[in-house]
Amino acid sequence: MNGQKQKFSELKKQAREAMAGRCGTLAGATAINLFLTISCSLIPTLIFSGTTLYDIIFLNLTLFLFSLLLSLFQAGYLKICLSTLRGESISVGDMLYAFYHHPDQYVLMFLIINGISSVIALISSIPGFQYLSSPSAELTLGTALSIDAELSSLMNVYVYKLIGSLVSTLVLVPFSLSTFVMNDAPGIGPIQAIRQSFVLMKKNFFRYILLLLSFLGLEILASCSCAIGFLWVMPYMQITMAAFYQERKDVLYPASEPVGYDRDSFGSGTDL
């Protein structure tokens, strides 16, 4: 951690070295994280599987509440990854870190970020809604004589949704380090954490995206192993992201100590 931009290979090397001797704990935390992620989407879908208005309302409400709960566990998982990078002691119990360190602040940050994502997704869906509610859609949908026109129109709808998803993903990239910031400075507040993430990501937007894409091959291989490979790939990826965060912080906030930063390292909220 020399305070300068490092090659991806160097960041990944830091992650691999940090994982040495800790793979058991990391695999256990990753297994819990994966189980919770799947359960939080699967359980509500199984419970409210009907098509009535009641089922739809409660399905979305339950998914929303479960997503809030999941965000706290995932914050704890990232805490484990950051602590691993820094050579600090870790345990599976650290998954509960956010529950004991201002959980309301984590939830509020999650609401802000996902609120922005939802607005972008809604805007991207407008062209599709316009098509489905248009008179031409009523005339073409289900009409054998207009199958080509129907397929073309529906393709346009999916293209708009794909573009919207891509735009939403890109817009959220500057928020990517927010949880690391909040884990590093408990009590800093969600707005300050988000703003600090923007500062850390400045001039590193595409570099971060390329770093994520560099794991695509490993993710494909992990998928081919019935997801078992993710028990190693996921912590490897997230610890590398923690190394990216640490690098950016070392550049902006050089510290005399090799690991660990106090809350004041980021300055006050008004300074961000």
Q: What is the pLDDT of residue 257?
A: 43
Q: Rounded to 10 degrees, what is the CA torsion of 187, 193, 195, 201?
A: 150
- Per-residue tokens: 203: 């001039």
Most confident of 60-69, 74-83, 189-198: 74-83
> Exposed (0-12), middle (13-18) or buried (19+): which is 236, by Cβ within 10 Å?
buried
pLDDT surpassing 80 at residue 159: no
- Per-residue tokens: 155: 């393709």
- Per-residue tokens: 19: 């994982």
pLDDT surpassing 80 at residue 127: no
pLDDT surpassing 80 at residue 134: no
Tell me the H-state helices in the chain: 8-19, 23-47, 53-85, 103-132, 135-140, 147-172, 178-184, 190-201, 205-213, 216-224, 230-252
Average pLDDT over residues 146-151: 59
> Exposed (0-12), middle (13-18) or buried (19+): which is 57, by Cβ within 10 Å?
exposed
pTM of the model: 0.81
pLDDT surpassing 80 at residue 262: no
What own/partner pairs with CB < 8 Å and gap ≥ 24 does 200-209 have?
200/245, 200/248, 200/249, 200/252, 201/173, 201/174, 201/176, 201/177, 201/248, 204/248, 205/173, 205/174, 207/5, 208/173, 208/176, 208/244, 209/170, 209/173
Cβ atoms of 192 and 144 within 8 Å: the answer is no
* Tens-digit pLDDT profile for residues 209-257: 999 999 999 999 998 888 789 999 999 999 999 999 999 998 887 764 4
Average pLDDT, the chain: 82
Average pLDDT over residues 53-61: 82
Q: What is the pLDDT of residue 153?
A: 62
Q: Rounded to 10 degrees, what is the CA torsion of 122, 127, 129, 130?
A: 140
> Exposed (0-12), middle (13-18) or buried (19+): which is 20, by Cβ within 10 Å?
exposed
Cβ atoms of 48 and 64 within 8 Å: the answer is no
